[in-house]
């Protein structure tokens, strides 16, 4: 599985951005695709994840109600719609995929995801 993230940019606080993750290669029913972010000077952290087959979603508490993860199976795309952005959302955002999890919310840490796209920078100005 190969992934390519795009859609980052500079936005004012309160604004919106949509990140895209293009997926290529063979996908399986067990695939889950997640978004992680790495703020400046900090470790990479989980943001959201979606199951490829069923479309079920899970979010970190800090973005719940503001961010929405979705997928388009026909286009092999995963999106992260980010609304009501805050300066603390500033980070490099990465999409990642995993085919080994026993359930969607299992082990939501970077090391559990074996496939990664490159980062896309989101900067939220105050």
Which pLDDT does position 28 carry in this prediction? 83
In the numeric block, the tokens 């970190």 are attached to 60
What is the predicted pLDDT for the residue at 80? 98
CA 58 – CA 47 distance, rounded (Å):
9
pLDDT tens, position by position, 74-96: 999 999 999 999 999 999 999 99
And the tokens for 102? Answer: 């026993």
As a whole number, mean pLDDT of residues 114-122 equals 97
The pLDDT of residue 32 is 96
To 10 degrees, the CA torsion angle through 70, 2, 47, 106? Answer: 100
pLDDT over 90 for what percent of the chain? 91
Tell me: the pLDDT tens digits for 27-65? 888 899 999 999 999 999 999 999 999 999 999 999 999
- Number of alpha carbons in the 13 Å side-chain half-sphere of residue 41: 1
Q: By the 8 A CB rule, do 58 and 48 touch?
A: yes
Determine the Cα–Cα distance for residues 22 and 103; give it in Å rounded to an integer. Answer: 23
pLDDT range class, residue 121, cuts 50, 70, 90 = very high
């Amino acid at each position: 599985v190969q992934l390519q993230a795009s859609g980052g940019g500079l936005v004012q606080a309160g604004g919106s951005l949509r990140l895209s993750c293009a997926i290529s290669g063979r996908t399986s029913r067990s695939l889950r695709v997640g978004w992680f972010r790495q703020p400046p000077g900090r470790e990479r952290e989980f943001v959201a994840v979606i199951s490829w087959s069923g479309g079920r979603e899970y979010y970190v508490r800090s973005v719940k109600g503001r961010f929405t993860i979705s997928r388009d199976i026909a286009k092999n795309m995963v999106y992260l719609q980010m609304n009501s952005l805050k300066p603390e959302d500033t980070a490099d955002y990465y999409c990642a995929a995993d085919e080994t999890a026993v359930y969607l919310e299992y082990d939501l840490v970077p090391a559990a995801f074996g496939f990664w796209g490159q980062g896309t920078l989101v900067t939220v100005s105050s």
